[in-house]
Amino acid sequence: MMMIECPICNEKRPELEFRYAGEAHIARPENPSALSDDEWAKYLFIRNNPRGTHFERWVHAHGCAKFFNAVRDTVSDKFVMTYKCGEQRPSPETIAERSS
């Protein structure tokens, strides 16, 4: 089972306490009615689905119940780091440093 560091509780807890909540950093369009069908489809349905570094949201459902973001490698399933919602997406250098 994966151990996940909740950045709010500052504790590493088993995956069972958490729920996955999809890809992170997908901003809802400011003015949805101004979007074309293509743009709307991209927002709703298109996902990165990378083989490697993935930015994703988790919620500490059986803990603080807060959402947070995580960086995880989708091939090894290893968590690189977690960070609070609203914080900037970590740079590739930071991720490379944390992964090693």
Site for other proteins contains 15 (CB under 8 A): yes
Q: Does 94 bind other proteins (CB under 8 A)?
A: no
What span, in angstroms and rounded, lies between the C-alpha atoms of 20 and 89? 18
With CA atoms as reference, report the closest residue to 85 among 59, 63, 62, 61: 59
Residue 91 φ/ψ, nearest 5 degrees: -75, 155
Site membership for other proteins, residue 68 (CB under 8 A):
no
Expressed in percent and rounded to 5, the helix, strand and coil fractions of the chain are 25, 35, 45
Three-state SS for 50? Answer: coil
**Binding of residue 17 to other proteins (CB under 8 A):** no
> Does residue 19 interact with other proteins by CB under 8 A?
yes
Choose the stretch contacting other proteins; rule: CB under 8 A; options: 5-13, 24-32, 68-76, 88-96: 68-76
Q: From the list 7, 54, 68, 71, which residue makes contact with other proteins (rule: CB under 8 A)?
A: 54
| Partners of 20 in the β-ladder | 58
Residues that bind other proteins (CB under 8 A): 1-2, 15-16, 19-20, 23, 37-38, 41-42, 44-47, 49, 51, 54, 56, 72, 74-77
